[in-house]
Structure 1
Amino acid sequence: MSNPDSFIEEVTEEVRRDRLFGLFRKYGWIGGVLVVAVVGGAAWTEWSKSRAEARAEAFGDAIIDALDQGTPEERRAALSAIPTDGEQAALLQLILASDPDEDRAATLAALDVVVANTTLSPGYRDLAVLRRVLVAGADTPLADRRTALQSIAVPGRPYRALAEEMLAYLLIEEGKNDEAIAAMTTLMQDQEASGALRARLGQMVVALGGTVPQSTSG
């Protein structure tokens, strides 16, 4: 016969297993919900991040297109027509507050407010950096403009490609056309470069005497 202590241990272990399986049948769904919540939460975070970046990029493209309009009146009308919500509305109002053709100092001051406002998303502040470099132009030392652009021309930033484009233009300003052509042709093959950006770069490369990459010439 089996040792009584061993027999008791076996019975106790069976009871433990029965209780464990019973608890699992009763509460096991909680673990499943937790797994779904974790996986779903990660997917939601990635989707939200991607959506926010796409939204910021579309907003920035709309502003740049509006600022390409000919007269101050046309620019204000185009800017006012851009749909906004939340932080975008605040940034757009600052850009609408003045026009460099009418009051350049006020425009730069408004953009400085945006750049310094850490409560805004980096995408909006990056857009203000781009706009400020364009408005200030040669009145700001080239080295300062390069530093400002390099701070937003890093992977993961929403306007990296536009900042890289403007950095290439600074090379032209310095008379370094060969370096500018090399930078532009590289950017034209960047997956983050939009069609409009590639078109602009292609025209500039040709104007400088360079050759447009075959993969982007069509």
Structure 2
Amino acid sequence: MSDTDSFIDEVTEEVRRDRLFAMMRKYGWIGILAIVLIVGGAAWNEYTKSRDQAAAEALGDAITAALAADDAAGRAEALETVETEDAGGRAVVDFLRAAALAADDRAEQAVDLLDGISLDGDLPLIYRNIAAFKALTLKSESADPAELRTGFEALATPGSPLRLLAEEQLAVLDIREGNDQAAIDRLQAILDDAEVTTDLQQRASQVIVALGGEPADSRG
């Protein structure tokens, strides 16, 4: 290689270094920012996980302490003082408090709590459906049958996680209204459903027999 070629190569390399340093001075902050964001994001993630775990543990301890009360009235009162900013945690506390209120013969207050859960759009559908179902069952002796039927029919729609339990309650309403054959047909449909549980299958069969029918096992 000639001296001229060597000189040209050195100049070219120097120009490349100058351009690289110029680019680093101009855009180097982007790389630094990316590193800061990655490290900061990891630290924030660990912090939030630790914070959420601590909050969950505190909520669990508070619930356990509240449930240690000797009677339903004491449990309801203690659960009322449990505080949490998490919507799911609040729903769990309200479910437990509603159960305590119902056990203390305060069904109306329990229904109010459950209705609040069922209408909370921030909660998963299963929470809202369970709350609506529990509220309807607590009102089963006092509410208008048409209101109950409308509520259970809404929970008996295809895809609802409480569909078969709602169908069972609709059969109970059929019986109350003197429509035994409608109840038998509805209970038989429950028995024919692939998703029926063993307990529900037994209850449906027993009620069909009590109504003078004969359960038909069409799934086997």
**Structure 2 residue 144 is the aligned partner of structure 1 residue 126:** no
- Larger CA Rg, structure 1 vs 2: 2
Residue 47 of structure 1 is matched in structure 2 by: none
- Post-superposition shift, 1:101? 3.4
Question: What SS does structure 2 have at the residue aligned with 1:151?
Answer: helix
- 1:109-124 pair list within 5 angstroms: 109-124=112-127
Q: Distance in 2 between matches of 1:202 and 1:88?
A: 36
Residue 104 of structure 1 is matched in structure 2 by: 107
Question: What SS does structure 2 have at the residue aligned with 1:137?
Answer: coil
- Post-superposition shift, 1:138? 2.6
TM-score by length of 2: 0.57
- Post-superposition shift, 1:214? 3.2
Unaligned runs of 5+ in 1: 1-70, 77-85
- Post-superposition shift, 1:141? 0.5
Residue 94 of structure 1 is matched in structure 2 by: 94
Q: Count the aligned residue pairs.
A: 137
Residue 48 of structure 2 is matched in structure 1 by: none
Residues 186-211 of structure 1 deviation map (CA, whole Å, 9 limit, x = unaligned): 11110121111111111111111110
Match among 131, 137, 140 for residue 137 of structure 1 = 140
Q: Distance in 2 between matches of 1:213 and 1:89?
A: 43
Cα RMSD between the aligned structures? 2.5
Which of structures 1 and 2 has the larger relative contact order (alpha carbons within 8 angstroms, sep 6+)? 1
Matched AA of 1:186: A
Q: Distance in 2 between matches of 1:140 and 1:181?
A: 24
- Post-superposition shift, 1:117? 0.5
Residue 158 of structure 2 is matched in structure 1 by: 155
Unaligned runs of 5+ in 2: 1-70, 77-85
Match among 190, 193, 196 for residue 196 of structure 2 = 193
- Post-superposition shift, 1:130? 1.0
TM-score by length of 1: 0.57
Residues 154-213 of structure 1 deviation map (CA, whole Å, 9 limit, x = unaligned): 111111111111111110111101110111011111012111111111111111111011
Q: Distance in 2 between matches of 1:190 and 1:213?
A: 12
